Amino acid sequence: MTSGVDLGRPQAQTVGSDEDVVRVRQLVRTVAVAVRLSLVDQTKVVTAASELARNTLVYGGGGTVEVAAVDNGRRPGIRIVFADTGPGIADLDLALTDGYTTGGGLGLGLSGARRLVDEFDIQTAPGQGTRITITKWSR
């Protein structure tokens, strides 16, 4: 459930370490500034990207992140895809519950990230890896 036309080439970043999570944040911030997101929305999308990139690293065992500027004809926006080939999520509803964690965190990353963006799409199955696409539109 995503809409809009891609603008320019998406930029990819592999996620294999904590430093890569920082790089993802910087990349997302650069693109968010380029598509003229407000300061609040920049912070929200950067934070969401930080959560999901860390999930990719910690639970997915590393993966890739693609950041692209998009446009739905009315507003520009930023779209980010997080993909890993890890164990996948068995119970998605449970994983999206506030406070549920299997890794000792606060259990707010996945559910919180969903609240921080406009569009949130997740494709996952046990053993099939996880692919999350988020979009934030400029207001």
Between 46 and 78, whose beta carbon lies closer to another protein?
46
Of 7, 11, 50, 100, which one interacts with another protein (CB under 8 A)? 50
Residue with tokens 């259990």: 107
Residue among 46 and 81 whose Cβ is closer to another protein: 46
> In the bound complex, what is the minimum distance in angstroms from residue 130's beta carbon to another protein?
18
Report 72-131 residues binding another protein (CB under 8 A): 98, 105-106, 108-109, 111-113, 115-116
Chosen residue from 10, 11, 43, 96 binding another protein by CB under 8 A: 43
